[in-house]
Structure 1
């Protein structure tokens, strides 16, 4: 095998490019105060709509240009990564925990418990998230807490459905029946015998959900129902730059491409995890 064939084989076997993008995202989010060249909310009217450094009339002070208020686009993109990580991480943690617990309880006990949980999921899937988010923001005001709550409520149903499907299969296994015969409580069976079999599915769902949550946060911020200004958010940056696409395209382009690459990387990582964690796919 030649060196080029070896590199190509590694690129197929391991998510190198998605991993590099996500690693850069995490680094930018964690070390944003040290990586951002300027204050993301500091405006300078003299620098408004300054082009990127490589363009005509560009300035080395603004590597990716400045927006309509003279704020550094690069610094706002870096801080926007932190906002996306925090919002998506907290919403995913809350939604994943609630959804997994409810899904496991629903699948294990069945009956009226399963009926209630499944009808709640049907209601959540039938409710238009964008419309509800706009109404909630009008009533409660625009804040990160409200945004996280909306995203968490939207995320739990996916975890619940997948966890329920896995539990319906796992609870018929012989080792679960033996645990029941030995007198183990339902809580012990769920935690020690069934939950380990659900973990891999939850990890895959969570990885795929992160990209969806980041995209949803960007959409809500674009519509004015997300991160409150002047806190930088990729969605709000695209919204701010929509009227300047002809004269200052960089205002919307760089946060837009950040959203695209991040969501794409998480989706690729989720597909890779599914292929490696699902024993049926590993055997094929």
Structure 2
């Protein structure tokens, strides 16, 4: 195989390295460690953090890309190795070919026949119109009436395998953390549930389409899982691009005031006056023109889709900082008038020291809460952009593209609900976990909440 490193792959690896460094530095700062300890001391904090890390792990596995080596054509004697144009990820290998089982068109979850009738011939050669059998579902059954019993037996086998894998993975954690003060048992319960669910999904998908197929015959469960990487990267990278701009301008405007404040207010007022969707759409279309005019820069189609994705993350980050900047400016204006800040000025403390010791620590809770809320809203914004045709490239797995493709299916009779349900389920779990985790972070880092706890 030939490794393939996309720009988005490098960014998610960088994100993992930053997380590792963050937790390493966390152990060396007693005050910060104590605040994060408040977050993880609750079962809800452990559960939501485990769910978020599950999504990050899936995104990481889907970012290890390579191209498989092809067999040389018969009769061709050469030492040169030819590689497949299709880019495969480690997640594709773990899903055991789930994305390679295509049908003709729609099929319902666990169905044995297509959702739409086709012209067929019966055993006597007569032309009939009926629901044709699926090519990759129920082919192992000798009698279709035994489908329910077959699903139950295979589900029990998958559950046993999931419990075995869970025991192997959780045993080292239990040995190391069983005496910890944190409620790791809550995390272990979630890990067992996640491992059993994915083991069941992979094993059952070899015999049935668990969430059916879409109009092109692709497995909906596979598309939903592939959308995890796009959702995690889009929300994270866009927010990380937005944060430095918003924090720098907001703190500068609220602390220095005067002409600095006037310039910053002019910038975010002008940006806010432009409709966000139109600004983003125009920027994405401009970059798309650049991609179309320079095809030699991209050796494979995946690189072109990845370049469009990175551009979308950058554009969303650059155009989404005004709201956070306004909040930080207002909070900095209030904090800069407090007595201890005025005393620091009187003692001749430098601006840099005041900003780093008194201003920034007191706006961290706003930054963290906004980070999670913007993370959720950016995932939803991608669905809107896909609706108008300027979102993620259709060749990349995306919940937005799935929701966009399902909008016309809901008006059918009978309704095709499973494409929308698959995307919404995975999106709902991620957004819910992120929002619940942000509430705990706010309670731990908000100075006003901490003061109320000490008074109580």
Per the shorter chain, which TM-score range? Answer: 0.7 to 0.9
Tell whether 2:448 aligns with 1:280: yes
For 1:243 and 1:37, the matched residues in 2 are separated by: 31
Structure 2 length as normaliser, TM-score? 0.54
Say which SS state the counterpart of residue 408 (structure 2) adopts: helix
The counterpart of 1:207, out of the listed 363, 372, 383, is 372
In structure 2, list runs of 5 or more residues that go unmatched: 1-41, 63-89, 114-133, 138-204, 290-307
- Structure with bigger gyration radius: 2
- Of 131-140 and 19-28, the range deviating more from structure 2: 19-28
Corresponding position of 1:131: 278
Match of 1:9 in 2: none
- Give 2:269's aligned residue: 122
Deviation at 1:153, TM superposition (A): 2.3
**2:57 alignment counterpart:** 27
- Pairwise CA distance, 1:109: 0.5
Q: Is the 8 Å Cα contact of residues 215 and 263 (structure 1) preserved in structure 2? A: no
- Alpha-carbon shift at residue 234 of structure 1 (Å): 0.4
CA contact (8 A) 1:36 1:79 kept: no
By percentage of residues, which structure has more strand?
Answer: 2
Give the TM-score, by structure 1 length. 0.82
Conservation of the 8 A alpha-carbon contact between 1:221 and 1:233: no
Deviation of 1:19 after TM superposition, in Å, equals 4.3
Q: After the TM superposition, which of the residue ranges 146-155 and 78-87 deviates more from structure 2?
A: 146-155
**Which of residues 76, 91, 96 is equivalent to 2:243?**
96
Which residue number corresponds to residue 263 of structure 1? 431
Unaligned runs of at least 5 residues, structure 1: 1-11
Separation in structure 1 between the aligned mates of residue 54 and residue 108 of structure 2, nearest angstrom: 24
Q: Is the 8 A contact 2:276 2:319 kept in 1?
A: yes
Please state whether the residue corresponding to 2:363 is helix, strand or coil: helix
User: In structure 1, how many angstroms separate the alpha carbons of the residues matched to 2:98 and 2:310?
Assistant: 24
Taking the aligned partners of 2:285 and 2:320, their CA distance within structure 1 comes to 22
In structure 2, the CA distance between the partners of 1:216 and 1:36, relative to structure 1 (3 Å rule), is farther
1:131-150 equivalent positions in 2, closer than 5 A: 131-141=278-288, 143-150=308-315
Matched positions, count? 272
Q: What is the deviation of 1:83?
A: 0.7
The alignment yields a C-alpha RMSD, in angstroms, of 2.8
The alpha carbon displacement at 1:230 in A equals 0.5
In the TM superposition, 1:1-284 aligns within 5 A as 14-15=44-45, 18-19=48-49, 21-32=51-62, 33-34=90-91, 35-38=94-97, 40=99, 42=100, 44=102, 46-53=103-110, 55=111, 57=113, 59=137, 60-61=205-206, 62-141=209-288, 143-245=308-410, 246=412, 248-281=416-449, 283=452
Q: Per the alignment, do residues 14 and 174 of structure 1 end up closer, same or farther by CA in structure 2, a change over 3 Å counting?
A: same
Write the deviation string for residues 118-137 of structure 1: whole angstroms up to 9, x where unpaired. Answer: 22222233321112222223
Q: Deviations over 1:101-120 (max 9, x none)?
A: 11000000011211221222
What's the CA shift for 1:47?
Answer: 4.6
The answer as to whether partners of 1:88 and 1:210 remain within 8 angstroms in 2 is yes
How far off its partner does 1:214 sit? 1.0
* Equivalent position of 2:67 in the other structure: none
